[in-house]
């Protein structure tokens, strides 16, 4: 159990479990970490001597690398294990894998897994911190946090801001973490997509549903565009990617009918010409690469709060 006046659990499993106070603590700490990232030497000794392992059973470019950079910026030792190199390939269970890592002296495990709930299972079975880096269609909490941090950087307090999440809501852990987190910070969330990609009951999470993209985005402050996850879909959920682009793709023509300061976001990786046009992905409306930079700072903040044992207020005085 984390003893500092900070996060109330030893793990970060999902934004559904965090209070607005927890989320704001992480976002405030992220601001301090961004300052560290601007220094000529982007390294502080906050996690010196801590060992962290990233256990990724699904592909990743941004999340795994940014956790690795974040941990190194805090002076932790890091090890990366992918599915191909792991003894899971020989039949070892996830719990046995984690218990073996724990007795080697790992303080924290960052896990991405195709099964929803895999990080929760680990958290119950090891003493170290478990951080969910994406579990099935359930949650991707650090993505939700970096999205909210980026939104706050662009437009300040999120209370009352309208965030439209567009696309494959059914298969999206990013959408779920955004909905949980944004609700807690008082934003209004609307999800838009083809009816086959909007799950029944999603409104119970605290969002509205629209099937009319242009109407939904007309007064949006933020449009968070989701990747079409063909790898998680059974066939036939929409006719073709061309058709999807025509009906739900974010294009400059569509953005011209929105608020002039609308901000377009995407968790990456992007499918150019499917959910977003190249003109938007490379143009002035989007903050996609800023999200990636903020991802390092958010992950530094999460690692610091879970593993340093220091009071967050120390951050204000410098690390």
Q: Which residues bind ligand CP (CB under 6 A)?
A: 60-63, 134, 140, 143, 267-269
Give whichever of 63 and 138 is closer to ligand CP, judged by the CB atom: 63
- Shortest Å, Cβ 68 to ligand CP: 11
Q: Outline where the chain has alpha helix (H).
A: 20-38, 62-73, 94-103, 118-125, 141-155, 173-184, 213-217, 241-248, 252-255, 278-281, 288-307
- Shortest Å, Cβ 174 to ligand CP: 7
266 is in an annotated binding site: no
62 is in an annotated binding site: yes
Give whichever of 108 and 267 is closer to ligand CP, judged by the CB atom: 267
Residue 76 near residue 299 (C-beta atoms within 8 A) = no
Give whichever of 19 and 61 is closer to ligand CP, judged by the CB atom: 61
Within 13 Å, how many C-alpha atoms sit on residue 1's CB side? 3
Residue 310 CA to residue 314 CA, distance in Å, equals 7
Structure tokens at 233: 């879909």
Which of 142, 153, 159 minimizes the C-alpha distance to 69?
142
- Shortest Å, Cβ 184 to ligand CP: 21
120 is in an annotated binding site: no
Residue 23 near residue 149 (C-beta atoms within 8 A) = no
90 is in an annotated binding site: yes
Residue 280 CA to residue 250 CA, distance in Å, equals 7
269 is in an annotated binding site: yes
Give whichever of 286 and 308 is closer to ligand CP, judged by the CB atom: 286
- Shortest Å, Cβ 139 to ligand CP: 12
Q: Which residues are annotated as a binding site for carbamoyl phosphate?
A: 62-63, 112, 140, 143, 268-269
């Amino acid at each position: 159990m984390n003893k500092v006046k900070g996060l109330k659990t030893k793990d970060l499993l999902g934004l559904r479990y965090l209070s607005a106070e927890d989320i704001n603590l992480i976002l405030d700490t992220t601001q301090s970490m961004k300052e560290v990232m601007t220094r000529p030497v982007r390294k502080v000794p906050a996690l010196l001597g801590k060992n962290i392992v990233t256990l990724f059973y699904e592909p990743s470019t941004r999340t795994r690398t940014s956790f690795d950079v974040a941990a190194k910026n805090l002076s932790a030792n890091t090890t990366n294990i992918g599915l191909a190199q792991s003894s899971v390939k020989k039949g070892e269970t996830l719990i046995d894998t984690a218990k073996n890592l724990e007795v080697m002296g790992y303080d924290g495990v960052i896990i991405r897994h195709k099964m929803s709930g895999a990080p929760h299972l680990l958290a119950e079975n090891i003493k170290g911190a478990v951080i969910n880096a994406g579990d099935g269609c359930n949650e991707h909490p650090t993505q939700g946090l970096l999205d909210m941090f980026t939104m706050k950087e662009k437009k300040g307090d999120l209370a009352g801001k309208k965030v439209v999440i567009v696309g494959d809501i059914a298969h999206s852990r990013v959408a779920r973490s955004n909905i949980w987190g944004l609700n807690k910070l008082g934003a209004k969330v609307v999800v838009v997509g083809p009816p086959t990609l909007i799950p029944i009951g999603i409104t119970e999470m605290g969002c509205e549903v629209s099937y009319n993209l242009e109407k939904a985005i007309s007064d949006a402050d933020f449009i968070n565009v989701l990747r079409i996850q063909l790898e998680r879909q059974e066939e036939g959920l929409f006719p073709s990617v061309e058709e999807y682009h025509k009906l739900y793709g974010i294009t400059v023509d569509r953005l011209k009918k929105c608020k002039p300061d609308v901000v377009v976001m995407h968790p990456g990786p992007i499918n150019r010409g499917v959910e977003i046009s190249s003109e938007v992905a490379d143009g002035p409306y989007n903050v996609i690469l800023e999200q990636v930079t903020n991802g390092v700072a958010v992950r530094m903040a999460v690692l610091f709060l879970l593993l340093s044992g220091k009071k967050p207020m120390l951050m204000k005085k410098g690390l």
